[in-house]
Structure 1
Amino acid sequence: MSRLPRAVRFLLVHAAIGFGLATLLMAALFWANPGGVGQVLRRAPGHPWPSLLLWFFCGLTLGAVQIGIAVMLQDRPPDDDDRGGGRRGLVPVRVRG
């Protein structure tokens, strides 16, 4: 069995975290029942479909957010051409006043 490339594994792990967060969101939605939404979803005529679709699209959204956050928080060494890249600490700047 070949291993997945690092980038694919990175995306799958963080997408799974997003779907896990969507599961927690749906559980909280059913538990808190704000405005009777949980009750409406439980009593829907095609019972599982509205809940499954809401979970799926929340999972897509939260997965994309999680991937974006993970990409932005990656720490890389700065580029050699001084055009940016990587993290740099705060640099104090003198202001004449």
Structure 2
Amino acid sequence: MTDLLRFLLRHAVLGMAIGIAFTSVILVFDIGHLRTLTAGDPAGTGARLLLAFFIGSTFASLQMGIAVMYAPPGADDSADRGAGED
């Protein structure tokens, strides 16, 4: 696995975990009455899972974008050092 893929995957998993924690906080504190709305519906569990997945993927994308934008300026120079010396 390349360093870039490992970097992006690590930050995607971190963002997904933050998103799932955020969804849990929304449901525990019943913000917008989402917990009570989904508790009374037979498809409530599916709705909660979809909510967690989509909020988690949004946070994962956000975390990956932030990680890429705040990467140190010379972070990828090690891969390019030998390319121009031929």
Question: Is the TM value for this pair above 0.5?
Answer: yes
- With normalisation by structure 1, the TM-score equals 0.69
2:21 is aligned, of 16, 21, 24, to 24
Q: Give the C-alpha shift of residue 41 in structure 1.
A: 2.1
Q: Which residue pairs with 2:5 in the alignment?
A: 8
Larger Rg: 1 or 2?
Answer: 1
Which is bigger in relative contact order (C-alpha 8 A, separation at least 6)?
A: 2
Task: Please identify runs of 4+ aligned residues in structure 1 that moved more than 3 A.
Answer: none
Q: Which residue pairs with 2:72 in the alignment?
A: 75
The answer to whether structure 1 residue 47 and structure 2 residue 39 are counterparts is no
Q: Give the C-alpha shift of residue 35 in structure 1.
A: 2.9
| Gap regions ≥5 residues in structure 1 | 78-97
Q: Give the C-alpha shift of residue 47 in structure 1.
A: 3.0
Aligned length: 74
Q: Which has the higher helix share?
A: 2
Root-mean-square deviation (CA, aligned residues, Å) is 1.2
- With normalisation by structure 2, the TM-score equals 0.77
Q: Give the C-alpha shift of residue 46 in structure 1.
A: 1.5
